[in-house]
Amino acid sequence: MAEARSIPLAASELPTSWYNLQADMPHRPPPPLHPGTQQPLQADDLARIFPMNLIEQEMSTERWIGIPEPVLDKLLLCRPTPLRRALDFERALDCPVKIFYKDESVSPPGSHKFNTAVAQAYYNHAFGIKRLATETGAGQWGCSLAAACNFFGLELKVYMVRTSFEQKPFRKLMMQTWGAKCVSSPSQDTQAGRDINARLPGTPGSLGIAISEAVEDALTHEHTRYALGSVLNHVLLHQTVIGLEAQKQLASVGLYPDVVIGCAGGGSNFAGISFPYVRDRIHGKTVRILAAEPAACPTLTRGPYRYDFGDLSGLTPLLAMHTLGHQFMPPSLHAGGLRYHGMAPLVSQLKRDNLIEAEAIPQLECYAAGILWARTEGFIPAPETTHALAAAIREAKRAKAEGRERTILLCYSGHGLFDLAGYDAYLSGQLTNHELPQDEIAAAIAKCPPAPAL
Amino acid sequence: MAEARSIPLAASELPTSWYNLQADMPHRPPPPLHPGTQQPLQADDLARIFPMNLIEQEMSTERWIGIPEPVLDKLLLCRPTPLRRALDFERALDCPVKIFYKDESVSPPGSHKFNTAVAQAYYNHAFGIKRLATETGAGQWGCSLAAACNFFGLELKVYMVRTSFEQKPFRKLMMQTWGAKCVSSPSQDTQAGRDINARLPGTPGSLGIAISEAVEDALTHEHTRYALGSVLNHVLLHQTVIGLEAQKQLASVGLYPDVVIGCAGGGSNFAGISFPYVRDRIHGKTVRILAAEPAACPTLTRGPYRYDFGDLSGLTPLLAMHTLGHQFMPPSLHAGGLRYHGMAPLVSQLKRDNLIEAEAIPQLECYAAGILWARTEGFIPAPETTHALAAAIREAKRAKAEGRERTILLCYSGHGLFDLAGYDAYLSGQLTNHELPQDEIAAAIAKCPPAPAL
C-alpha cells in the first residue's frame, strides 16, 4: 500500500499562543543600545518607528503570549501547515534517516514571512496606524506584508532593492495585486534615495539603502510606522507557531526529532521551527538544533559576537549579535533572503550558549540539494530553503557513516517559483561558489562602531 | 473563536479507483471517427500515438478503474488536496451562500493537470515507452507532465506555443528543473515546424501547430508516444479524484452542494470536480452543475454540436463535440488554458442531455473576481480559475435575489503565480472584453470537415 506522507493537524489544534524563548533561556541577550548615547534603549526611543504594542512585545519576557483572534482568523487561511515526510528524498539518499519537513511554502505569498506579517499588520492597525513602510530584498517579505496589510486595511509602501526589483518583476506585481505600492530603491521618493541616486547613479541598491528609505518614509508620513521581517524578538516570536505545530504533528505519530534544521539569514524561520525545541533542550531533552547558513555570508560560523548596527547606514540601534560587520557586502547570491550581515540577537545568544550549532554551506551544494528535492519530492524549493535541505543531506550521510538511525525535522521555508532563474543559472553551469577570505571579514569588522565589549 | 476553513481528508481516504462516468450516463457520446474513412476508430488506429493500456482505458465502460499503486504513491505528494471554505470571500459578497473550494493549486506544478500527468507517465512507463512528446499552451500541462515524467524516468520534449514561450519564461525553466526539454513552437526540430517557419516567419505559433509538432515527434522517434492534457476520456477519468475527495470532505461536515462549478476549456478540471456529482444527479439527487467558460471562446454556450477535428491542422480523429470550428482562432486571452475551440466529448454529451449547464463570462468580470479573491482569501488564482470564481459570484447574487441559501462547491484549478502580468494588465486598465460576432463563429464552422450528422 502506498505510504502516507502528510501528517495533518486539525484547525482546532492551531496554537493560540506564541512561545517566548526569553522566559526560558539561560542568558538573555544584552540589551540593544541607543546609537547616540550607547545606553540601553528605552521603549520610547522606538515609538516613532514601531507601534507601542509591538515594542512591548519586543521587550516582553512572558513565556506565552496570546495570539489575537483576528490574527488567528487570518492564519487559518493556510495554517496549520502540513508536516510531510520526504519519502522519495529519503529513498534517493539511501541513508538510515526519516526526514520530515514543515511546509511553510503553502501560505498565500509562499513563505513563512506571512506569519509575522499578519501579526504586525494587525498590531499596527489596532494601534491606529494607517500606513506602513518597509524594505524588501528578494521580495518574500514585501509580498507577505502586502497580503497582510490588505487584510487589515493598511496602506503599504515597499522599497525593493533595485537589482531584485528589476530581476523579479513578478514580486512587484504580486504586491500590487494585493494593493500595495512597490518602488525600486533607491527611489526619488525620499531624501535618502535622492542623495544616493545623485551620488551613485545606476547603483543596484542594497538592503541598507532600502531600510534607510523605509525608515525615513515612516518618520515623515502621518499615521505611518516601519515594519521589519526578521532579526527582532517580536518577529521571531510570531514564527514560533511553526515549531509548536510541528511538535504536535510529530507527537501524533509518536516521534521526536534527533535533529532540527532551519536555514538562517536574519534568523526568523530558524527561530520559528527551533525555539520550541530549544526550550525542550534547556529542560534536558536530547535534541540537536542546526542553523544552515551560506558559506558566502557565514554570520554564525565566522562572524564575531559584538555590538553592531542592524543596517548598512548605521541608523538602527546597536544589537548584540554575531555579525560580519554592518558594512560587509555579501557577494551576489541567489538566496537573497540569506544575504544579511548580522543575526538575530536571540539566535546569536543561543549559539554563544552552545544550545544550537551552525554550519556554512556553499552555494553549489545547496542548488544540488534543491534539484534533488525537486526531482524526488516534486516541489521546487526557494534558494534559501535549499540550505536546510543540504544540511539535511549532510546529516543523513553522517547517520549512514555512523550506522545510527536519525529522525530529521526541517523547516521548508518557501517555494522557489519566482527563483527559477537561479536554477537555470545553476543547471547551465553559470554559478560558482564564493570563497570568502578572512581578511575581507576582518576589514568589515574594523568598520564596526566603537561599542561596549561583550 | 476564529472559524476553521480547511476540511482535511486523511491520506487513508485517498480514492483508490477513478470513477468512469461512461458506466452511468444515459447516452454515451458517438464514437470518434477515423479522419480518412470516417468509420468508428479502432484501438489499433491509435497505437502509434498512445500506449495500448491508455487506449483501453479511453474505451472502457467499467464504472470503477483501480488506480495503480505507483500512481497513488505520487498523488500522495499533494493529495488529498484541501477543501476550504472561502469565509472572507463570502463575507465580502454578503450573500446567503457557503462557498467551498477544492484546492488543486497545491500540486508541485500548481494545478490539477498533475493528476493525469502522473497517471499518463506511469502507464507509458509500464508499457515500455521511454520518451513522451507533448504540446503546451500556457504551460500548466507541460510543467505537470515534466514533473511526472521525471518521477518515472521518462524523457520528455515539450513544444510550447511561441507566444507563451516568450511571455512566460519561468514555465520553461520549471520544466527544465524537472529535467524536461522545452522548445518554442514552431521549432526547427520537426518537418511541420520547419514548414511553418519557412511559410510564416515570426509567427506567434498556435496550439494546433504545437500539436502537429508533438505528434510528428512521437511518430518519428523510437519508444516515443504522444500525451494530451485534456479532452480525451482517459484524461477526464484521471481527474475524478478531485470530485470523489470533495464528496467525502463535504459529507464529513454534513453538507451536500446545491451547485458545483468548474471552469471549462478542454473540460478536464470541470469533469474532475463534477462527474461524481453528475452520477448523483443521474440517480435522482438535486444538484446543479455549471461549466464556466470565457465569453471570448464560448464553446458550450454558442458552439454547435457536431463532428470536428481536435486540432487546427486536422490530424486527429473526428470527435463529436460542441465546437467553434477547429480553425476558430480565439482572441488573445490571458486565460490561455481556456482558449480551445472544442469541448471534451463526454462534457459535450452531458450538455446535450441537460445534465449540466454552461455560462459564458467576459474577461473583465473574471479578473474582478480574481482580485476580490486575492484580497479576501489571500491566494492569487490562475486566470482560468477566475472563471469559476466569477460564476460563483453570479450564483451568490442569484441566491440573494431569490432569498434562498445555497452551498456552492467550486474547483480552484490552479494558482496564478506565473500569470501576474495578466493581473497587471487588468489593474492598469489595459484589458478589454472581446465581443464575438455570430458571423465569426459561422465562418469558422463553415470550415469544419464534412462528417456524419449527429
Residues in chain B: 454
Query: Is A448 within a domain?
Result: no
- Is residue A447 a part of any domain in this protein? no
Residue contact A77–B106, C-beta within 8 A: no
Confidence of residue A167 (pLDDT cuts 50, 70, 90): confident
Nearest Cβ partner for B73 among A2, A379, A424: A2
Question: Would you say residue B448 lies in a domain?
Answer: no
The answer to whether residue B358 scores a pLDDT higher than 90 is: yes
CA–CA dist A138, A422 (Å, integer)? 12
Inspect the interface and report whether the beta carbons of A2 and B76 lie closer than 8 Å: yes
3-state class (DSSP) for residue B66 = strand
pLDDT digits (tens, 9 = 90+) for A341-357: 999 999 999 999 999 99
Q: Is B355 helix (H, G, I), strand (E, B) or coil?
A: coil
**Does the distance separating the beta carbons of A421 and B418 come in below 8 Å?**
no
CB atoms within 10 A of CB A392: 29
Cβ within 8 Å, pair A11-B1: no
**What is the layout of strands, in order, in the sheet containing B155-161?**
B181-185, B155-161, B131-136, B224-226
Run of H or E including A358: strand A357-361
Which chain A residues touch B170 with a CB distance below 8 Å? 170, 417-418, 420-421
Query: Tell me: the pLDDT tens digits for B161-178?
Result: 998 898 888 999 999 999
CA–CA separation, A103 and B78 (whole Å): 11
- Among B167, B172, B174, B377, pick the best mutation site for testing chain A contact (most A Cβ within 10 A): B174
Closest chain B CA to residue A148: B378
Q: Specify the pLDDT at position B339.
A: 83
Q: Which pLDDT belongs to residue A1?
A: 62
Share of chain B above pLDDT 70, in %: 100
Cell of A337: 533572503
SS3 A426: helix
Q: Lowest-confidence range among A203-212, A350-359, B260-269?
A: A203-212
Provide the residue range defining the domain that includes B332. Answer: 6-12+80-110+234-441
Chain B residues inside the 8 Å CB shell of A374: 108, 177-178
Tens digits of per-residue pLDDT, A268-289? 999 999 999 999 999 999 999 9
* Cα of A33 to nearest chain B Cα, Å: 38
A230, A246, A261 — which closes off a domain?
A: A230
Flag if B178 and A2 touch (Cβ within 8 Å): no
Give yes or no: residues A277 and A420 share one domain. Answer: yes
Q: Which of A5, A72, A110 sits opposite B2 (nearest CB)?
A: A72
Q: What is the CATH number of the domain that holds B213?
A: 3.40.50.1100
Distance (Å) from the alpha carbon of A376 to chain B's nearest alpha carbon: 7
Residues B106 and B211 in one domain: no
Q: How many domains does chain B have?
A: 2
What pLDDT score does A335 carry?
75
Mean pLDDT of A440-453: 92
Q: Which of B6, B77, B151 sits opposite A11 (nearest CB)?
A: B6
Contact A177 B380 (CB under 8 A): yes
Q: Give, in order, the Cα–Cα distances in Å from A313 to each of A181, A207, A296, B255.
A: 24, 10, 21, 58
| Shared-domain flag, residues B86 and B162 | no
Nearest residue in chain A measured CA to CA from B149: A375
Contact B2 A73 (CB under 8 A): yes
Same domain, A268 and A224: no
In angstroms, the separation between the Cα of residue A444 and the nearest Cα of chain B is 37
- At residue A311 the predicted structure's pLDDT band, cuts being 50, 70 and 90, is confident
Task: Determine, for residues B76 and A4 on separate chains, whether the beta-carbon distance falls below 8 Å.
Answer: yes
Residue in chain A nearest B106 by alpha carbon: A106
More confident site: B386 or B3: B386
Contact B170 A12 (CB under 8 A): no
Say yes or no: B391 and B247 in one domain: yes
**In terms of C-beta distances under 8 Å and separation of at least 24 residues, what long-range contacts does B439-444 make, across chains too?**
B440/B328, B441/B302, B441/B303, B441/B324, B441/B325, B441/B328, B443/B325, B444/B324, B444/B325, B444/B327, B444/B328, B444/B341
Angstroms from B171 CA to nearest CA on chain A: 9
Judge if A45 and A148 occupy the same domain.
Answer: yes
The reply to whether B339 falls in a domain is yes
Residues B263, B363, single domain; the answer is yes
Measured between beta carbons, the chain A residues lying within 8 angstroms of B5 are 11, 76-77
The cell numbers describing B194, all together, are 520547419
pLDDT digits over B74-120, tens only?
999 999 999 999 999 999 999 999 999 999 999 999 999 999 999 99
The position carrying cell 453570479 is: B394
Query: What is residue A332's predicted lDDT score, i.e. its pLDDT?
Result: 72
**Contact residues on chain B for A12, CB-CB shorter than 8 A:** 4
**Which residue of chain B is at minimal alpha-carbon distance from A70?**
B2
On whether residue A450 sits in a domain, the answer given is no
All residues of chain B having their beta carbon less than 8 Å from the beta carbon of residue A4 are 10-12, 76
Residue of B nearest to A87 (CA): B77
pLDDT at B32: 96
pLDDT of residue A166 exceeding 90, the answer is no
B179·A420 Cβ contact <8 A: no
Nearest CB partner across the interface for A176, out of B2, B150, B424: B424
Q: What is the mean pLDDT of chain A?
A: 95
Domain boundary among B188, B214, B230: B230
Together in a domain, A243 and A290? yes
Same domain, B396 and B331: yes
How many angstroms away from the CA of B200 is the closest CA of chain A? 31
Spatial distance between the Cα atoms of A163 and B55, rounded to a whole number of angstroms: 51
Selecting from B5, B379, B427 the residue whose C-beta is nearest the C-beta of A76 gives B5
- What integer pLDDT is reported at residue B1 of this predicted model? 62
In this structure, are B221 and B309 located in the same domain? Answer: no
Indicate the pLDDT class of residue A327, thresholds 50, 70 and 90: confident
Mean pLDDT of chain B: 95
Query: What amino acid is encoded at B22 in this protein?
Result: Q
Say if CB B302 and CB B442 are below 8 A apart.
no
H/E stretch holding A366 reads: helix A363-376
For residue A212, what pLDDT is reported? 87
Mutation pick from B76, B114, B140 vs chain A, by most beta carbons of A within 10 Å, is B76
The pLDDT assigned to A435 comes to 82
Contact (CB<8Å) B177/A427: yes
Specify whether B314 is located in the same domain as B243: yes
CB contacts, 8 Å: A417 with chain B: 110, 170, 174, 417-418
Among candidates A11, A177, A420 on the partner chain, residue whose Cβ is nearest the Cβ of B174: A420
Would A255 be classed as within a structural domain? yes
Q: Would you call A378 and B8 a contact, using CB atoms and an 8 Å cutoff?
A: no
- A-chain residues near B173 (CB < 8 A): 420-421, 423-424
Q: Which of B6, B167, B428 to mutate to test the interface with A (most CBs of A within 10 A)?
A: B6
Among the residue ranges A123-132, B299-308, B314-323, the one predicted with the least confidence is B314-323
Among the candidates B230, B263, B279, a domain finishes at: B230
Q: Which chain A residues contact residue B374 at CB under 8 A?
A: 108, 177-178
Residues of A in contact with B1 (CB under 8 A): 69
Which residues of chain B have a CB within 8 Å of the CB of A77? Answer: 5, 88, 377-379
Closest-CA distance of chain B to residue A224, Å: 22
Q: Is residue B451 part of a domain?
A: no
Is pLDDT of B204 > 90? no
pLDDT of residue B164: 85
**Mutate which: A1, A6, A154, vs B, most B CBs within 10 A:** A6
When pLDDT is averaged across residues A396-425 and rounded to a whole number, the result is 96
CB contact under 8 A, A417 and B421: no
Contact A8 B8 (CB under 8 A): yes
The sign one gets for the Cα dihedral A207, A210, A216, A217 is negative
The residue assigned the cell 460563483 is B392
Confidence of residue B334 (pLDDT cuts 50, 70, 90): confident
pLDDT of residue B202: 87
Query: Does residue A56 fall inside a structural domain?
Result: yes
Amino acid in the structure at residue B6: S
pLDDT tens digit sequence for B371-415: 999 999 999 999 999 999 999 999 999 999 999 999 999 999 999
Helix/strand/coil (H, E, C) string of A205-268?
CCHHHHHHHHHHHHHHCCCEEECCCCCCHHHHHHCCHHHHHHHHHHHHCCCCCCEEEEECCCCH
A250 shares a domain with A157: no
The interface predicted TM-score of the complex, written ipTM, equals 0.95
Contacts of B424 in chain A (CB under 8 A): 173, 176
